Structure formats: C-alpha cells, structure tokens
Amino acid sequence: MDLFGDLPEPTQSQTPGEGKTVLNTNILPQTLTAGPFRHDRIHLSPKALHRRFSAHQCLSPLVLQNGACVWTVVKAAVVLVLGLPVLRGYVAARRGERDEMQDAHVVLPDMSGLLSVRPRSVSHLSYFAVFDGHGGARASKFAAENLHLTLAKKFPTGDSENLEKLIQKSLMDTFKQTDEEFLKKASSQKPSWKDGSTATCVLVVNDTVYVANLGDSRAVLCRMESSEGHNKPVTLCLSKEHNPTMYEERMRIQRAGGTVRDGRVLGVLEVSRSIGDGQYKRCGVISTPDLRRRQLTRNDRFLILACDGLFKVFSADEAVKFVLNILLDPGLDPGLDPVLDPVLDSACQQLASEAVRRGCADNVTVILVSISFPK
C-alpha cells in the first residue's frame, strides 16, 4: 500500500539567485503551518497496536541563502511503536549582529525512510543536528546537506548483539567521510575554501540517544527527578566541548607542530575539532567526534541542541529552566496542552531571542526536541 498514493507530487521551483531546485511545499496539507521551522505533528493513540503507520513529511534545511533556510520535504513513513518516545523538533535561528548566517541545522523526526535496509530491532530512527560555521557558511551547509545521508548509508543493515558498537562506528566513519569530502571539494576551488564548522548531532534509535559532536556546539537533556516528594529538573550534558585550552587537545595540537595562543589554534581558530578548516588539519585539528550514549526515560522532557551563541549568555541549567518556565507558565490557557506545538515552538523562539537580548552578537541557532511517551 502506497501511503502517499493519493498525494500529488510536489511541484518544483527555482530559488532566486541560486539556481537551485527546491520543493514547493504549499500543496502539502498541514505542512509548514506556522513558518519555515514547523512540521507535521504526530498523534499516537493509546489504542494503537504494535505498529501503526501515518504519513508524515520530514523537513530538512539543505541550503542557507541570505540568512534563511530553504527546506525540502522528505516523504517517510513514521513507525509508531507502543512504549517508544515520540519526538518533535522546533527550531529558532537568529543572525545576531553578524553580516551572514553561518549556522545550519537538520530536523528529521523520522529518518527511517532514508535507510536502504533497516534492522528488525530498530523500530524508529530520528536525527537532529546543529552546525556552527566559521570562515563562511559552506562547511556548515555541506554538513547539513550530506552528513545524515552518509550516516544512512553506513547505518548497520542487520541485527547484531553488537548493534550499539556498530552504530557508534557508523557515526565515527560518517564524520570522517564528511570531513574528507568537504576538504576535497574545498581544495578544488580557486582560491581554496577556508570554511569550517562545528557539529552536534543527535541520533535517536528507538529509545536510545547517541550524541556525536565536534567543537563547542552542545546538546543537553532535561530530566525530571523526584526529590523530597517534588519533581526537580536535572540538566544532563550530552556533549563535550573541544577547544585548544583543554589539556588533551592542546597536547595533540603541539605534538602536530601547532601552537595555542590566546586560547586559539595558531592564535586564530577557537575550536580544536571541526569539519573543514583544511589549513589547520596539519596543526592537530581533527574531525573525530566525541560519542555519548543515553537511554531515554519517561522522566525526560526535552533536548536542547544549540551553537555556542546560546551558551555564551546561558548556562545549560539556565537554558533548561528558561524553557521549563515557559512550559509550566500558570498563565497559559488551561485548555492548552503544554506539550503541543504552539507552546514548544514559542519556548524555542523565546530562548533564541533572549540570547540576542542578553547581548550575544553571534549567530544563534536552537533546536528544541520534545520527548513524550504514549500513556
């Protein structure tokens, strides 16, 4: 049965100034209902059987033009399985005082449709990523366009007792290949591109979160824990920052013949791991991500992925509490469920705007991923 047999094919249109073909999503029902960062909601009925399929369009920003994201629509079937979390992603991006928006991001609540073969033990796959570019937007754009596609090709195809290790290996190999392919493309240009980018990628396999990151973009998880009869929010950091001031990073750079001055590689680059930055790769800058794994529980509320523009003016705890204060605002319409799109989207938008209001002059990109379990 073709889930999309009754839908007309999206028309194609040319994006002014770039000559790139993008999909016109105006004909898709309930898609982009409140701006370019929204996507369809998925409703899971408690009466659902083991599997239930619903048509869903996953949005992915593939091109940055004049500080705005151009989205394409990926058709996919969302497999809803009882007991697994339902994830929804919301994005806010602010250029700040910069002349160019160099951040990029990807929101794929269901990535399963990109796999050629899916292991039977994998019922659902989600992917969210933030890329903070420097020296231009080409490295971040390239990573947003290609990293998840490479990951889909390298994702394990069969069931194995070592599935976790195979997933981690696929992430490591994906980052390596993405970096190599961008560096090859960059070096072929005249003059060669000097762009680089951080990367924070969250891959959710069933109810397990895998985080792979380079540089100083971050991912944090809000978990509610019971303390003295009250639920108390706990902030769990899921990523590790990579900057030249860290001992291990500095030692690697110095062994490669590089130097660290004023907290920067050769006195220029703020991060010690990145995609791109070809001129610094010979000085000990690498593209090997830090990998972390976390099991989601019914006490988890949301994830925040953001570039360092947010965390220059917010601590991780402050960002989590800021979002919670909006979700738990007693002034909300009592008939409005705080886990629905308008409230979560508002929380994401307000968080990014508050970062700018607090004086962040850098680009700010925030992805808020809500986590809910069927009752």
The answer to whether the CB of 142 falls within 8 A of the CB of 131 is no
Q: What are phi and psi of 332, to 5 degrees?
A: -65, 150
Reading phi first (left if > 0) and then psi (alpha if -120 to 50, else beta), residue 188 is in: alpha
Ranges 14-28, 78-92, 240-254: which has the least confidence: 14-28
- Give the CA diameter of the chain: 64
Give the three-class secondary structure for 241. coil
Asked if pLDDT for residue 11 goes beyond 50, the answer is no
Per-residue model confidence (pLDDT) at position 267 = 97
Alpha helices in the chain (DSSP H): 138-154, 163-187, 247-255, 278-281, 308-311, 316-327, 341-357
Stretch 113-135: mean pLDDT: 95
Q: Say if residue 364's pLDDT is above 70.
A: yes
Q: How confident is the model at residue 330 (pLDDT cuts 50, 70, 90)?
A: low
DSSP output for 88-134: EEEEEEE-TT-SS--EEEEEES--GGG-SS--TT---EEEEEEEEEE
For the stretch 169-217, pLDDT in tens is: 999 999 999 999 999 999 999 999 999 999 999 999 999 999 999 999 9
Residue whose entry in the numeric block shows the structure tokens 């490669």: 256
The model's pTM: 0.79
Domains of the chain with bracketed CATH: 11-240+291-372 (3.60.40.10)
The pLDDT, as a whole number, for residue 22 is: 29
pLDDT at residue 339 greater than cutoff 80:
no
Condensed to tens digits (0 to 9), the pLDDT of residues 225-244 reads 987 778 899 999 999 999 99
Q: Would you say residue 300 has pLDDT above 90?
A: yes
How far is the C-alpha of 65 from the C-alpha of 256, rounded, in Å? 37
pLDDT of residue 331: 58
Secondary structure (3-state) at 186:
helix
Tell me: pLDDT of 67 over 80: no
Q: Which residues contact 337 (CB under 8 A, 6 or more apart)?
A: 343
Q: Whole-angstrom Cα distance, residue 107 to residue 102?
A: 17
Asked if pLDDT for residue 371 goes beyond 90, the answer is: yes
Q: How far is CA 221 from CA 80, 180, 290, in A?
A: 22, 31, 17
Q: What is the spatial distance between Cα 163 and Cα 144, in angstroms, rounded to a whole number?
A: 25
Mean pLDDT, the chain, as a whole number? Answer: 81
Which residues, 6+ apart, have CB-to-CB distance to 174 below 8 Å? 147, 150, 151, 154
